[in-house]
């Protein structure tokens, strides 16, 4: 059956005049607006039939925008702590980063795993299983969040020392970490709900929730840090309030709009057909976040001998590169529902076209937005952290920005493996980042001091990027083969990704699928 008929549009109405001068965007608007599609139908259209470029932009731009604004908030948060607190408060933010990583790791285990499974089930048309998946994800995130909070608060003193805090930085770090643990349950639940919203193609609504959270966070920052002068602890309380506000938004939206979402205990299950796919894919996200935890611990303990300003320069620089990195991450995360839905539907050609376009978008975005940050790095460092960190921060920020392009490729490959349910490949790639980092950071610090410590970041991403393409050559090819078996057998082997990224010939089917609606491509 032609794809257009699934939208309630006769094939002749959409593709009958393929020689017309209407652009792909105009045709997409005709399909959406002239046929009065509902908001739900629009979301499925972007996942199923829209030109790949248009679909990725529709799914990725809202996500990238929301994450970029969140990253800007992190810079503003550093501004409030740095200008209304002390350098010890600013250092506490980076000392406490491992706790952020632990919370994010457990949240990703359920959020990413459940969202990719949900999107694949939508592609398969097997919506009856989705309520069990969403109910499990919501309650599992809350239960594990409470457990983490209890354990973290009980061991807060040894954990604070383990993270490298001492002397004047001990108390600010201890309070910041305590508040972070208290906020673990709402943080994990919020992350899971946001992932479930995106799984059904509601990219804009996901962005609206993040924007709502940023506004709430700014208000709380002004009150708790600027007015009450609570320092690093105020930043933690503001984050907790933000997550509660986001939970309210996402729960109201999902219960009102989603036909598949459920948080009823009646749908909660621990069956293998839910646990296995959720945990196998989510474990890669958990490994990635745990790598951030361990690397932050190592970095803190190695950098502390260079002084508090060096520790603070890493914290501020990491927040500054979050702006270009989160734009790239938004595209990668926005592509996951498209990859997963297309994989579940068995549309091999669309899956390959989506990957090609996603590579161009993510790498290009990362490069373009890193250049302005580097050009104005001294001004950015002063604004985000104050004059005391400019000298050390200049070198740190330059090295971190250099790594962003390779980071983009690694993130995209991990997203592709997660979306296709290739948990082992995703875990191997994310674990490799940690292995490369530990080797390079210790070797760099021993051989080259602070400079070697700084440049361990880009070396890590370059090594992981190379390994990622090797993993793609094996697991990626098998994934394409699995999709092929879902639809029909194709005797011609897939061309390599490198060849696929070369300028296409006019009339090339894969390129047409990237920029033209499916109905129009089918008529060529």
pLDDT in tens, 52-99: 888 888 888 887 777 777 766 677 777 788 788 788 888 888 888 788
On whether residue 6 sits in a domain, the answer given is: no
- 103-123: burial string, b at 16+ Cβ within 10 Å, e else: bbbbbbbbbbbbbbbbbbbbb
What pLDDT was estimated at residue 17? Answer: 39
Q: Which of 38-42, 61-65, 189-193, 359-363 ranks highest by mean pLDDT?
A: 189-193
Phi, psi for 126 (deg, rounded to 5):
-100, 65
Domain with 267 in it: 49-522
253-265 average pLDDT score:
90
Which three-class secondary structure state does DSSP give residue 258?
coil
In a domain, 370, yes or no: yes
pLDDT, average across residues 116-140:
91
User: Is 242 part of a structural domain of the chain?
Assistant: yes
Number of compact structural domains in the chain: 1
Contact indicator for 239, 174 with CB cutoff of 8 Å: no
CA triple 257-261-264, angle to 5 deg: 125
Residue 313 belongs to a domain:
yes
pTM of the model: 0.68
Residue 437, in any domain of the structure: yes
Q: Tell whether 4 is covered by a domain.
A: no
Does 460 reside within a domain? yes
Q: What is the pLDDT of residue 241?
A: 93
Highest mean pLDDT among 94-98, 179-183, 224-228, 304-308: 179-183
DSSP track, 86-126: -HHHHHHHHHTHHHHHHHHHHHHHHHHHHHHHHHHHHHHT-
- Examine residue 356 and state whether it is found in any structural domain, yes or no: yes
């Amino acid at each position: 059956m032609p794809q257009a008929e699934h939208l309630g549009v006769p094939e002749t109405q959409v593709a009958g005049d393929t020689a017309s001068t209407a652009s792909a965007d105009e045709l997409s608007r005709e399909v959406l607006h002239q046929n009065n599609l509902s908001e739900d139908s629009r979301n499925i259209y972007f996942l199923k039939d829209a030109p790949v470029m248009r679909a990725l932009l529709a799914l990725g731009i809202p996500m990238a925008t929301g994450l970029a604004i969140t990253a800007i908030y992190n810079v503003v948060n550093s501004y409030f702590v740095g200008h209304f607190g002390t350098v010890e408060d600013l250092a506490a933010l980076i000392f406490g980063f491992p706790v952020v990583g632990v919370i994010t790791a457990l949240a990703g285990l359920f959020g990413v795993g459940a969202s990719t499974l949900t999107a694949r089930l939508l592609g398969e048309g097997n919506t009856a299983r989705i309520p069990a998946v969403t109910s499990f994800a919501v309650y599992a995130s809350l239960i594990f969040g409470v457990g983490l909070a209890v354990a973290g608060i009980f061991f807060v003193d040894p954990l604070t020392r383990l993270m490298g805090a001492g002397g004047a930085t001990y108390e600010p770090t201890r309070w910041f970490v305590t508040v972070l643990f208290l906020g673990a349950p709402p943080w994990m639940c919020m992350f899971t709900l946001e992932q479930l919203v995106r799984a059904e193609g509601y990219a804009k609504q996901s962005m609206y929730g993040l924007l709502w959270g940023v506004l709430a966070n700014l208000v709380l920052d002004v009150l708790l840090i600027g007015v009450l002068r609570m320092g690093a602890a105020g930043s933690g309380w503001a984050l907790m309030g933000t997550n509660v506000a986001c939970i309210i938004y996402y729960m109201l939206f999902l219960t009102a709009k989603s036909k598949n979402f459920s948080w009823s205990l009646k749908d909660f299950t621990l069956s293998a057909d839910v646990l296995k796919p959720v945990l196998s894919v989510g474990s890669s996200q958990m490994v990635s976040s745990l790598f951030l935890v361990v690397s932050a611990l190592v970095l803190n303990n190695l950098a502390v001998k260079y002084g508090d300003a060096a520790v603070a320069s890493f914290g501020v620089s990491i927040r500054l590169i979050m702006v270009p990195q989160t734009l790239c991450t938004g595209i990668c995360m926005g592509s996951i529902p498209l990859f997963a839905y297309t994989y579940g539907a068995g549309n091999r050609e669309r899956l390959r076209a989506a990957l090609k376009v996603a590579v161009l978008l993510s790498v290009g975005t990362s490069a373009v937005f890193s250049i302005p940050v580097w050009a104005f790095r001294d001004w950015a460092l002063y604004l985000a952290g104050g004059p005391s960190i400019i000298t050390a921060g200049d070198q740190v920020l330059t090295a971190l920005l250099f790594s962003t392009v390779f980071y983009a490729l690694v993130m995209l490959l991990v997203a592709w493996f997660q979306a296709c349910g290739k948990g082992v490949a995703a875990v191997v790639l994310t674990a490799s980042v940690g292995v490369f980092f530990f080797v390079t950071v210790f070797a760099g610090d021993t051989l080259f001091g602070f400079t070697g410590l700084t440049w361990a970041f880009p070396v890590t991403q370059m090594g992981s990027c190379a390994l990622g393409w090797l993993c793609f050559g094996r697991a990626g090819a098998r994934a394409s083969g699995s999709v092929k078996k879902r639809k029909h057998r194709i005797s011609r082997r897939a061309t390599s990704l490198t060849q696929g990224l070369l300028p296409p010939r006019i009339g090339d089917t894969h390129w047409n699928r990237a920029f033209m609606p499916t109905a129009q491509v089918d008529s060529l």
